[in-house]
Structure 1
Amino acid sequence: MSIPTQNHIINGEFVSPSSGQYLDLIDPVMGQVIGKAAAGNSADVDRAVAAASEAFKSWKNTATSERANIIARMALVLGANMEELLGLEAKCTGLSVTRLQGFDIPAVMQFVQIFSENLESYPFVEYPPVRAVPEAHDVKIVKQPLGVCGLITAWNGPLFLAFLKMLPAIAAGNTVIIKPAETASLAVVRAMELIQDLLPPGVVNVVTGLGPDVGAALSSHPGIAKISFTGSGRTGAMIQKEAADTMKRVTLELGGKGPGVVLPDAPIELTARGATYGFLLGSGQICISGTRLFVHESIHDELVARMAELAGKMKAGSQFDPATTLGPMAYRAHYERVLGYIESGKAEGAQVACGGGPLSVEEFPDSMFVQPTIFTDVTPDMKIYNEEIFGPVLSVIKYSDVEDAIDMANDSCYGLSAGVWTGDPIAAQSVSHRLEAGTVWVNDWHAISGDMSFGGIKQSGYGREINIASMEGYLETKNYVTSFETDPNAKAMYGLVHRSV
């Protein structure tokens, strides 16, 4: 069976990598090569920046109505090719088609709808009221696009993240260069190929390759005005440093260690199902996963027992099987890293309530599944308590005083997500207010709407994405000030310099 070999997309055309090299893309369930992606380098980035810079000259002046119309038409193109895109995304990520159909693809369609419907009413130009003191001026505030933006996406939702970043960037009038994750670029490249006919050449470009080769070149390139990155904190810090030399704008959506606080009155079944969903959706390979659960001592044992029962019912298998509820780790090094964390938890004294190792699936001997694992008796000095594992692993911490639970929840370098489980969602608002996170859920997890802004605090990053307000991160504010007074002798402030003339 032939496998797709994808080149860069630069200036509306497929472009071979200057290195002549390609990267293997591996199906994490089958363990087989299912595609090849161009191995880009700084020369390819230079070419893409040149194309995007030329396209920006005209794209920035395109009417908002035209940009909105182009974005709206993307939904038709994506819809007509949805089956192909689903297949490509599932193959190279291991994400189940059930999840892709239930979350990722509907979210992309919602993003398209939000930007196409709200773009024309966005306040690109504002006129504040005229103030008489010290003298009357006409002030016009204009929000202008930045220029060429580099968009670097993660491997745990490549198509979702590409549109999450690309839509506000081009809606604001910028041009973009997308660098998909090197392990999972099939659907992103194909989707950007499909929309090329809607856009002027050079508005949306794609350069694939390794982070040190392409990501670093984007972050340090003087022709790029902004970087938006989703991924690890370590890489985010490197990008921030590389971008500093040219004063690039940067948006970072990084890691998390989502704490959930289970109050004594929490409904057991709702909490058990919700908290299990919170740490097992996407096999835990989601930055907003709820991976620390602080449970009141009065319901600790009952809740853990029910969660272990639910986790044990997860079914590992093909991403194309509707019955599959547990996917594999995305690639070999990550699989081994997750198993290493599980072993460290055991070695440091945590108790295994369920799982605790690799999961073999007879039909897929080369797959990289990990058993859903719940640890109890976890203490703050353990690695599994503090570090982001990015796998199906939950740390449960028993508490007796809710004040202690809140303090422990906040005692983290991360601040992306948090949650409260309770029988009184109104009273939970006070706890939610005190949890240090960009998003706090009450009696739910992973609930995201296209109308809310999304991002983190502390070392989970900065900047906001998803909703129409995310365009702010892709715009520069410029003020035009016009004086109504043309007689220099009547200018109120000139006397500070000109005492007599």
Structure 2
Amino acid sequence: MSIPTQQHIINGEFVPPSSGQYIDLIDPVSGQVAGKAAAGNAADVDAAVAAAAEAFKTWKNTPTSERAGIIARMALVLGANLEELLTLEAACTGLGVTRLKGFDIPAVMQFIQIFAEGLESYPFVEYPPVRLAPEAHDVRVVKQPLGVCGLITAWNGPLFLAFLKMLPAIAAGNTVVIKPAETASLAVVRAMELMQDLLPPGVVNVVTGYGQDVGAALSSHPGVAKISFTGSGRTGTMIQKAAAETMKRVTLELGGKGPGIVLPDAPIELTARGATFGFLLGSGQICISGTRLFVHESIHDELVARMVELVGNLKAGSQFAPETTLGPMAYREHYERVLGYVESGKAEGATLACGGGPLQVDEYSDAMFVQPTIFTDVTPDMKIYNEEIFGPVLSVIKYSDVEDAIALANDSCYGLSAGVWTGDPIGAQAVAQRLEAGTVWVNDWHAITGDMSFGGHKQSGYGREINIASLEGYLETKNYMTSFETDPNAKAFFGLVHQVV
């Protein structure tokens, strides 16, 4: 079977990298090359931004109904090519096709529906009431697209994130340059290739490559009006600094260290299944994972024992096998970093309830699986408590006073996700309201819907994504004021400078 070699997509055309170089995309289960992506650089970014800027001249004036129709047809295109896209996404990310079919793709389809249905009723123009003081004016508030937007996505859900960012950007009338993660671009490039049949050339461009080359060039480019980035806090800080030079708008969705508080009345089975799901979906390689679990002392031992049982039933294997429930780490450097955190937990005195090292799978000797790992007796001075691990590692902290649990949960530089496990979901609202996070679940985790926006507090980033309100981040507000008074002597403020004649 031949592997795909993908080029950039610029102005509706396939464009080879000006460097002539390509990046090997490695299947993290088999260890084999799954495809090749163009290794872009600043020259490629310049070409893509120029194409997007030219396309913006006409796309920004496209009727809203036409943009909504184009977005609606995207669902049909994705559906017709679903198996190919699933295969490409799974091959270079290790994400299970079961997850992709059950989570990522349905979410993308919902995003498309939200923007296709909500775009025409969105208030791009508002007419406040006429005020008689200081004099009668007609005021019109117009929201206009920004221009060229750079969209930089992470490797833990490339297709999901690309549509999450692209849809509101083009719905608002902007044009885009997408930079997928260098390790995981196969499905994104193919999907955006398919979109070219729906869109005018230059509206959606894709430049693949390393962050220090393509991402940095986009973030500092004077022709880019906005950057939307999902990824690490360290890279987010660099992007924010680079964008400041040209006053770009920035949306950042960064790391997390999601705390879950298990109240004394929490049902054991619901909590055990939910909390393991919270830290093991995507093998923990999700920013909103629940990785700190504060458990009341009265049910601590029973809950941990049941979670260890559940974890023992997981099956590691091929991302294409429906029975696989545990995937690998996405690439070698990350795999080694996660194992380093596990070793630090042992060295700093945490108690290992299960897991604690690499997971060997006979059929895939080169695969980068990590044993699902649960630590107890974790304290706030440990690395595994404070730092985002981005792997299948959970820190359990025993508490006796819920006030202490809330204080510890909030004592973090992150504020992306949090949750409460309880037998009284109504009463638990009082706890949920005090947790400092952009999304707080009660008796659930990882649930998202297009009816709510998504984003973080503190060092988890800023700006909102997912729902129709995310259009705000891709629009500029302009005020038009028309005066009905034509007699200069009657103008309310002219007398502050001119004498009345």
State TM-score, norm by structure 1. 1.00
Structure-2 separation of matches of 1:109 and 1:451: 14
Provide the residue aligned with 2:494 in structure 1: 494
Structure-2 separation of matches of 1:494 and 1:410: 54
User: Counterparts of 1:305-316 in structure 2 under 5 Å?
Assistant: 305-316=305-316
Provide the residue aligned with 2:76 in structure 1: 76
Provide the residue aligned with 2:91 in structure 1: 91
User: Counterparts of 1:40-119 in structure 2 under 5 Å?
Assistant: 40-119=40-119
Provide the residue aligned with 1:274 in structure 2: 274
Aligned 8 A contact 2:125 2:143 in 1: yes
Provide the residue aligned with 1:170 in structure 2: 170
Q: Residue 208 of structure 1 aligns to which amino acid in structure 2?
A: T
Provide the residue aligned with 1:19 in structure 2: 19
User: Counterparts of 1:160-309 in structure 2 under 5 Å?
Assistant: 160-309=160-309
SS class of match (1:482): strand
How far does residue 499 in structure 1 lie from its aligned partner after superposition?
A: 3.5
Structure-2 separation of matches of 1:456 and 1:212: 25
User: Mind listing any 5+ residue stretches in structure 2 that lack a counterpart?
Assistant: none
Structure-1 separation of matches of 2:307 and 2:148: 47
Q: Residue 407 of structure 1 aligns to which amino acid in structure 2?
A: A
Aligned 8 A contact 2:489 2:500 in 1: no
How far does residue 437 in structure 1 lie from its aligned partner after superposition?
A: 0.1
Provide the residue aligned with 2:34 in structure 1: 34
How far does residue 451 in structure 1 lie from its aligned partner after superposition?
A: 1.6
Aligned 8 A contact 2:17 2:40 in 1: yes
How far does residue 500 in structure 1 lie from its aligned partner after superposition?
A: 3.9
Provide the residue aligned with 2:412 in structure 1: 412
User: Counterparts of 1:276-425 in structure 2 under 5 Å?
Assistant: 276-425=276-425
How far does residue 495 in structure 1 lie from its aligned partner after superposition?
A: 1.6
Provide the residue aligned with 1:449 in structure 2: 449
Q: Residue 495 of structure 1 aligns to which amino acid in structure 2?
A: G
Structure-1 separation of matches of 2:254 and 2:426: 30
Provide the residue aligned with 1:480 in structure 2: 480
SS class of match (1:197): coil
Structure-1 separation of matches of 2:165 and 2:214: 17
Q: Residue 108 of structure 1 aligns to which amino acid in structure 2?
A: V
Q: Residue 113 of structure 2 aligns to which amino acid in structure 1?
A: Q
Structure-2 separation of matches of 1:97 and 1:118: 30
1:38-93 alpha-carbon deviations (Å, 9 max, x no partner)? 00000000000000000000000000000001111111111000000000000000
SS class of match (2:197): helix
Structure-2 separation of matches of 1:500 and 1:273: 78
Structure-2 separation of matches of 1:496 and 1:311: 76
SS class of match (2:433): helix
Q: Residue 39 of structure 1 aligns to which amino acid in structure 2?
A: A
Structure-2 separation of matches of 1:57 and 1:269: 57
Structure-2 separation of matches of 1:250 and 1:42: 20
Q: Residue 245 of structure 1 aligns to which amino acid in structure 2?
A: E
1:140-193 alpha-carbon deviations (Å, 9 max, x no partner)? 000000000000000000000000000000000000000000000000000000
State TM-score, norm by structure 2. 1.00
SS class of match (2:188): helix
How far does residue 312 in structure 1 lie from its aligned partner after superposition?
A: 1.2
SS class of match (2:201): coil
Structure-1 separation of matches of 2:133 and 2:315: 70
Provide the residue aligned with 2:136 in structure 1: 136
1:220-261 alpha-carbon deviations (Å, 9 max, x no partner)? 000000000000000000000000000000000000000000
Aligned 8 A contact 2:152 2:179 in 1: yes
How well do the aligned residues superpose, as a CA RMSD in angstroms?
0.5
